[in-house]
Amino acid sequence: MVKFLLWVVFKQRDFFKLPPLTQADIFFQHKLYARAGLLYYSLEKYDLAIKSFQVGNSYKNLVLTYSKTGQVAEALETAQQHKLYEQAANICLKIGDEAKAAHFFSYFNQQTAAQLYKKTGQLYEAGLCYINIEDYAQAYSCLNQSTVGLAKLEEIATVLYFEKKYKVAYNIFIDLQCLQSALLCAKAVNNKDWILYTTNLINTMASADSQAI
């Protein structure tokens, strides 16, 4: 930038009187690619803006220009490659692709990702997001039809038990109908109400099983 300013002072004092397109070309020639790209963009010379942003590794502006020109696939691919997840998520929302938006939100906002995954019927992915934010009740509601998902929840509950987070583990075990494990949690904290409730559930299920036989 300093060299360019010296060039303007000593060789091209009327630079800022030149047509904007000529200014942009000169910026590009002096390897001021971001400045060139922004000026090209303002002049709606989008192909030249894209070239400038590509050469100058100005990926956020490149994604913006791809999106502006309707090249959504290129915009999202560039955003994915350069971890511009929030920008990509907003593009997806703008075009109404909530399923793909959920994918990008999952990199930086698990709550929003979970809501969008659930809204678009991607329940397993929603459940995993809810697990990540430790909302196990919501996770169970999303994963209760998935054998793999339920196994993952049971594994998490077991870990929580050994971490002495008995209340959280207890609630998960109850949802999963892992009643003996739930009873262990209840006894660990000596919660008489939990012990009574869980014991009654165990007896009720045992009675139902014996009648079925």
Q: Is 195 domain-assigned?
A: yes
pLDDT in tens, the chain (213 residues): 555 555 554 455 677 788 999 999 999 998 999 999 999 999 999 999 999 999 999 999 999 999 999 999 999 999 999 999 999 999 999 999 999 999 999 999 999 999 999 999 999 999 999 999 999 999 999 999 899 999 999 999 999 999 999 999 999 999 999 999 999 999 999 999 999 999 999 998 887 666 655
- Report the number of distinct structural domains present in the chain: 2
pTM for the model: 0.82
End position of a domain, from candidates 28, 62, 82: 82
Domain span including residue 165: 146-207
End position of a domain, from candidates 51, 82, 113: 82
Q: How far is it, in rounded angstroms, from Cα 78 to Cα 88?
A: 9
Q: Is 122 domain-assigned?
A: no
Q: How far is it, in rounded angstroms, from Cα 202 to Cα 32?
A: 73
End position of a domain, from candidates 82, 111, 127: 82
Short-list 55, 53, 56, 62, CA closest to 80: 62
What token pair was written down for 57? 């590794």
Q: How far is it, in rounded angstroms, from Cα 176 to Cα 156?
A: 12
Q: What is the DSSP letter of 18?
A: S
